[in-house]
Structure 1
Amino acid sequence: MSSISIVPTDPQRWPLHVNAGVHHWQYLDLAASTKQPQSVAEKYFLGLLTELPNLPVASNFQDASRNGFRFYQKLQLNDGHWGCAYGGPSFLLAGSVIAMYISETEIPAEWKIEIIQYLSNTVNKDGGWGLHFAGDTTVFATALYYIALRILGLEPTEPLVSKARARLLELGGATAVPQWGKVWLALLNLYSWSAVNPIPPEFWLLPDWVPFHPWRWWVQCRVVYLPVSYLYANKVTKPLNPLLQSLRQEIFTRPFEEIDFNRFRNTTAPTDLKKPLSPLLRAANVLLRFWENYIRPDWLA
């Protein structure tokens, strides 16, 4: 049975706090929520009735523009900017849960309820999750969301969890999870860092004119690469505990102790593979591994 009570929260008790563009939802007790009425924007984000008057039906471009202006005017937040949701990609929510667990940051009970509710509402019919909430099932999302649900307190026997595990094992288990998944599993002591292709922080020391300097990369890759390269270089790993020991036996198709993770360094599940590793990238990984193990000066280690 679940160790937490899955009772839906009251959406009318969630105010949005904004500080320099940072959004933080807080769950208030009943007394406090009555003293802090929700704004139109908060109601809109939470899927509640905004109670805004119906706009006149537009008959031309100018009328449609005015309607749009009036609508978005009501969604502007107190500091002047417009907020939006960015919860679809599966690498965000799972990463937040895992990062809080690794850093021993308490996950509020209300967050746990809403995260479990969200995953229950976005799970695919086969029991897994895709790279985004409308995507076909992938090993990456299914493995990370399975782990997140276990961190949140659900037991393997819970229907949502057991079905996800069954689907993950049908896909071959977590050994063929893509690179970002390998990193998360290595941080959790569920994968070997030696089986993660190099993520050298030394790239940041290269001259700016180098064509592959990280500052030239797409922002989503760049901002992930910077902290992950530090974690990789230091081989940061959470110490084993009973939950992690159990997960080692839950997410793979064979006993953890028998797995040669190095065999899966370049392996990505067919469900997740968008483009095979090029020969150039494979050669670069070999050279970077050689640099890391035999050439890199001690002061860079």
Structure 2
Amino acid sequence: MKRSSDVIALPSARPDLAQSYSASDSGIAQAISRAQENLLRQQRPDGHWCGELMVDSTLCSDYVLFMHWCGDVDPQLQQRCVRHIVRRQLPDGGWNIYYGGPSEVNASVKAYFALKLAGCSADAPFMQDARANIMRLGGIPQMNTFSKLYLALLGQFPWKYLPTIPVEMVLLPSWAPFHIYKMSSWSRAMLMPLSIISHFKPTRVLPGEKQLHELYPLGTEQTDLRLPRSEPFWTWRNFFLRVDDTLKFLHPLRLRPMRRRALEEAERWMLERIGEGSDGLATVFPAMLNCLIALRALGYSKKNPVYVKAEKDFAGLFVDDSEDFRIQPCFSPVWDTAINIIALAESGASPEHPA
């Protein structure tokens, strides 16, 4: 039977290393030995591996935005984030989302906004370069909806142009065509706090000098900021956009008899997954940050034990060394351990090795 091209075949037995290089090639053998020693040095006492996940500047940008939305800015932490963001600005003025990549509008707008909130002058040369690059990329209207939500929290994008996320979805039965447990775990952890945020729409009003009017090519009044429909009439995109139009039409009518119960259920669902024994909601940056926002929107104070633990779990993603401050998107002990075990086995480590 022909094997699918997207399936990686793992050998059932350790291959003969002599087939891939000469046993007399001492340079290769020494390199493999050093690589094995390096991996073994990084193994944790309980046997697992977990390396640092390196990503782009958007996580530090998001965190600066979050601190200003909360109205609780840690000046030292903010300054570390600013240094991280500035160091990653590209020669053309923008920021990318992967190493060696081109400037990307979401990363660039969020970096510019974070720097502006942190006190960087919009007239500084590096800010002017950033602004020019963002405008070349189309400005705020070209951002994705997830990034626009963070702008909406700070009053820089109209909530009415964001997709509605009805919290009542948590009440749908398992036999329904759409149900939260028919999503991936990662998507579910993202969507539940977002549904709470979508209900409350908690917005902090910024002073004029901190706003982003300059990143709208045609201004906010002259621009249609709705998500565009696709050309054919019957498409899944158009279907969901019409569903969203219906939800937006019903919202001011307050025909939401199940809203209170749904909010309580969504809150309960979230609390069950951030309590003792958890390292945070899905232990992934976006879900954990959304969880903090949702908790504040629900009325949890900064000193509430639930919020304190969620904030502590979130801070566990921080990496602060002498060279740089950065934030990891998540932890990766499972796949790091699996990959390293395979690497050691395939490079000749004995199955009886203590590791």
2:142 is aligned with 1:176: yes
2:94 is aligned with 1:115: no
Structure 2, unaligned runs of 5 or more? 1-25, 230-234, 261-355
Determine which of 30, 52, 65 is the counterpart of 1:98.
65
**DSSP 3-state at the match of 1:130:** coil
What is the Cα deviation at residue 242 of structure 1? 4.1
Structure 1, unaligned runs of 5 or more? 1-55, 269-275
Partner AA of 2:181 in structure 1: W
Q: Report if aligned partners of 2:167, 2:259 keep a CA contact under 8 Å in 1.
A: no
What is the Cα deviation at residue 124 of structure 1? 2.9
**DSSP 3-state at the match of 2:212:** helix
Partner AA of 1:96 in structure 2: Y
The 2-side partners of 1:254 and 1:84 are apart by: 45
Determine which of 249, 264, 271 is the counterpart of 2:213.
249
Distance 1:239 1:116, change over 3 A: closer
Partner AA of 1:287 in structure 2: T
* Greater relative contact order (Cα < 8 A, sep 6+): 2
Determine which of 33, 45, 53 is the counterpart of 1:86.
53
Distance 1:250 1:293, change over 3 A: same
Say what the alpha-carbon RMSD is for the aligned residues. Answer: 3.1
Q: Report if aligned partners of 1:176, 1:264 keep a CA contact under 8 Å in 2.
A: no
The 2-side partners of 1:118 and 1:167 are apart by: 19
What is aligned with 1:230?
Answer: 196
Partner AA of 1:233 in structure 2: H
What is the Cα deviation at residue 88 of structure 1? 1.4
Q: Report if aligned partners of 1:174, 1:251 keep a CA contact under 8 Å in 2.
A: yes
2:249 is aligned with 1:282: no
What TM-score, normalized to structure 1? Answer: 0.65
What is aligned with 1:59?
Answer: 29
Partner AA of 2:201 in structure 1: K
Distance 1:265 1:80, change over 3 A: farther
What TM-score, normalized to structure 2? Answer: 0.56
Distance 1:159 1:73, change over 3 A: farther
Report how many residues are paired: 230
The 2-side partners of 1:146 and 1:126 are apart by: 14
**% of aligned pairs identical?**
24
Q: Report if aligned partners of 1:94, 1:148 keep a CA contact under 8 Å in 2.
A: yes
Partner AA of 1:215 in structure 2: Y
Q: Deviations over 1:176-231 (max 9, x none)?
A: 32101221111010111111111222211111333432333234432222222211
**DSSP 3-state at the match of 1:264:** coil
What is aligned with 1:196?
Answer: 162
Q: Deviations over 1:97-126 (max 9, x none)?
A: 2112211233342x4444333333332332
What is the Cα deviation at residue 89 of structure 1? 4.5
What is aligned with 2:39?
Answer: 72
Q: Report if aligned partners of 2:140, 2:215 keep a CA contact under 8 Å in 1.
A: yes
2:174 is aligned with 1:208: yes
What is aligned with 1:266?
Answer: 227
